Structure 1
Amino acid sequence: MKKLPIGVATFSELIENNYTYIDKTAHIHRMVNEGKIYFLSRPRRFGKSLLANTLKNLFKGNKELFKGLYIYDKYDWTQNYPVIYLDFATIGHENPETLKTSLNDFINMTKMEHSIELVSENLTSKFTELIIRIHEKYGKKVVILIDEYDKAISSHLDDIEIAKGN
């Protein structure tokens, strides 16, 4: 009997460790081919993080993880895309200054990962430039996946000033 993936939000871990997985890649295939921007709002524990991580693996072209799943022989695996995966659960957000510093660090680590240089100083401009430079480097659309987008706010509902600042 396969193990249940309670608390597992990493697609590769789920597949490589033989956890039970209900194949939802038919829906992912439709999403990828019919849409452009999605905002997924569901209650906690509904698999949003697993979906975002699955999309990351799909767009990076990690074909072997999808063997035996609906999408395996329907997706163009010759195409892979640069992915910016921003998970706010891993970004410091104790206060607005920490959040800003952590986001800046994330951008700096992402630029190093892709061996690109940025000139922008302003955080918004810097993120925009990051996307543009990655697109220029690879000549491909850049996939942006944002997980736990509300973490910096929802974690501070007991201190409304920090929540507002974040």
Structure 2
Amino acid sequence: MIRYNIPIGISKFEKMRKNDYYYVDKTELIHALVKTEPAEITLFTRPHRFGKTFVMSMLASFFDIRRDSKDLFEGLKIAEDQKLCELWMNQ
């Protein structure tokens, strides 16, 4: 029997990474967010059940100043841009 780690309804980025679940790497959104001109408000609009909460959880993990997040983002697209990570991760 083949078993896959495909969760339904989990929206916590850290839980997805630590439990080795399958998901779409959306870390390129971080790159787009920090490279665009600063705005007072950034609005994320997507249809229902399209991953908005997951993206917010990913952003919170990336920018969280209370802990080191490097291990959570290791192997993901954003980790390839070391300079960006040094400037923005946990800031």
- TM-score range normalised by the length of the shorter chain: 0.7 to 0.9
Aligned partner letter, 1:19: Y
Deviation at 1:78, TM superposition (A): 5.8
Deviation at 1:43, TM superposition (A): 2.1
- Could you tell me which residue of structure 2 aligns to residue 44 of structure 1? 48
**Which runs of no fewer than 5 residues in structure 2 stay unpaired?**
none
- Could you tell me which residue of structure 2 aligns to residue 21 of structure 1? 23
Asked if the contact 2:78–2:85 (Cα under 8 Å) also holds between the matched residues in 1, the reply is no
**Following the alignment from structure 1 to structure 2, what is the Cα–Cα distance between the partners of residues 35 and 8?**
31
**Which runs of no fewer than 5 residues in structure 1 stay unpaired?**
82-166
- TM-score (ref. length: structure 2): 0.75
Change (3 A) 1:35 1:46: farther
- 1:22-101 → structure 2 map (5 Å cutoff): 22-36=24-38, 37-60=41-64, 61-74=68-81, 75-77=84-86, 79=88, 80-81=90-91
Percent identical: 36
Structure with greater helix share of residues: 1
Asked if the contact 1:10–1:50 (Cα under 8 Å) also holds between the matched residues in 2, the reply is yes
Aligned partner letter, 2:45: S
**Following the alignment from structure 1 to structure 2, what is the Cα–Cα distance between the partners of residues 5 and 77?**
31
Change (3 A) 1:20 1:35: farther
Deviating beyond 4 angstroms after TM superposition, the runs of 4 or more aligned structure 1 residues are none
**Following the alignment from structure 2 to structure 1, what is the Cα–Cα distance between the partners of residues 32 and 87?**
18
Asked which structure has the greater RCO (Cα within 8 Å, sep 6+), the reply is: 2
Q: CA RMSD in A?
A: 1.9
* Number of residue-to-residue matches in the alignment: 81
**Following the alignment from structure 1 to structure 2, what is the Cα–Cα distance between the partners of residues 76 and 69?**
12
- TM-score (ref. length: structure 1): 0.44
Asked if the contact 1:63–1:77 (Cα under 8 Å) also holds between the matched residues in 2, the reply is no
- 1:130-149 → structure 2 map (5 Å cutoff): none
Structure with greater strand share of residues: 1
**Following the alignment from structure 2 to structure 1, what is the Cα–Cα distance between the partners of residues 87 and 71?**
13
Aligned partner letter, 2:57: N
Structure whose CA Rg is larger: 1
